[in-house]
Amino acid sequence: MLASHLPTNAKREAERVGMGLITEVRNFWQRRIHIPVRATDLVLDIGSGDKPHWRADVLLDWFPDEASAAQRSGYAKARVSRPLFHGDASRMPFADGAFDYVICSHLLEHVTDPAAVILEMMRVGRAGYIEVPEAASAKIVDFPTHLWWCRLTDGTLDFEPKHAASFDAEISGYLHRSGLEHDIERLLNSRFEHRVISLRWTTTIPYTVRGPVDADLVEQSVDAPVIHHGKTAIAPAIVAATAATIDHVLHRRRVTFNRVMKPEFHVAPDNVLTAKIYRVGI
């Protein structure tokens, strides 16, 4: 109603913003909310950080403390809203086929051996979802904690090692000096679905790794400053929070320790997992 009383230019801008918000929520729903699982299925979120997936029953993260925020979104320590295992994604303590669905969002571009993590995902899960930054967009503005250029070629996830923190140091320096870096990043994020590769898999994950990654770049990434400036949009955040609340009320899955652990880590008595940090085999 309000838009109908605005001047033509303002009305068009309001309509553009409204359509943009609708598109943002729809894309977020498709990428992060709608996953093909049943109410009784067990879901694992690898590299959950401070934004664990709403549907995850179990979390795994190698950097749970606030000091490692640069490896995540740069805001805070990992959120322990569900059982969180402090562990290496390339050597998970979980049993073969322990999970029905495995989520791995914006982790593989950070690890030194994505092949090892992918093999582990296929070992512990039956299906899942992978999200990584797309190479062409990342070459415009990327983060120094990312170690790989990621592409999806004919259904195969391809990892090319980066040799420097940015694709072109001269252009990167210009964007930083001019203050345009944040504006460019915001513009790219306005079409975020084109900034990422979204891959849903069942049973197997086709991949190639053209490594290894440069050791000096790995060392630089560990000491990189927190530079993730874009915050989570309000509308998608509300959608995710609402979905998590509904799921918690309707489907309280009781997951026991031995149900998801490798046999060598079984304990007696077997206890129901709670929202705390577990350290097993590290």
How are the residues of the chain apportioned to helix, strand and coil, as percentages rounded to the nearest 5? 35, 20, 45
Task: State the DSSP H helix or E strand holding residue 236, giving kind and residue range, or none if neither.
Answer: helix 234-250
Whether the ω angle into residue 212 lies within 30 degrees of 0, i.e. cis, is: yes
Contact call for residues 124 and 100 (beta carbons, < 8 A):
no
pLDDT at 198: 94
Q: Which tokens sit at 42?
A: 């067990």
Pairing of strands 101-105, 156-161: unpaired
Of the segments 50-59, 199-208, 211-220, 233-242, which one has the largest average pLDDT value? 199-208
Task: Give residue-wise pLDDT tens across range 165-186.
Answer: 999 999 999 999 999 999 999 9
Q: How confident is the model at residue 232 (pLDDT cuts 50, 70, 90)?
A: very low
Going from N- to C-terminal start, the domains of the chain cover 2-278
Query: Are the C-beta atoms of 244 and 54 separated by less than 8 Å?
Result: yes
Find, among 23, 51, 36, 15, the residue nearest to 237 by Cα: 51
Average pLDDT, the chain: 84
Question: What pLDDT is attached to residue 33?
Answer: 78
Instruction: For 158-187, give the DSSP string.
Output: EEEE-SSSSS-HHHHHHHHHHT-HHHHHHH
Q: How far apart are the C-alpha atoms of 217 and 220, rounded to whole Å?
A: 5
- pTM for the model: 0.83
Question: In terms of pLDDT, which residue wins out, 152 or 253?
Answer: 152
Joined tokens for residue 235: 């509308």
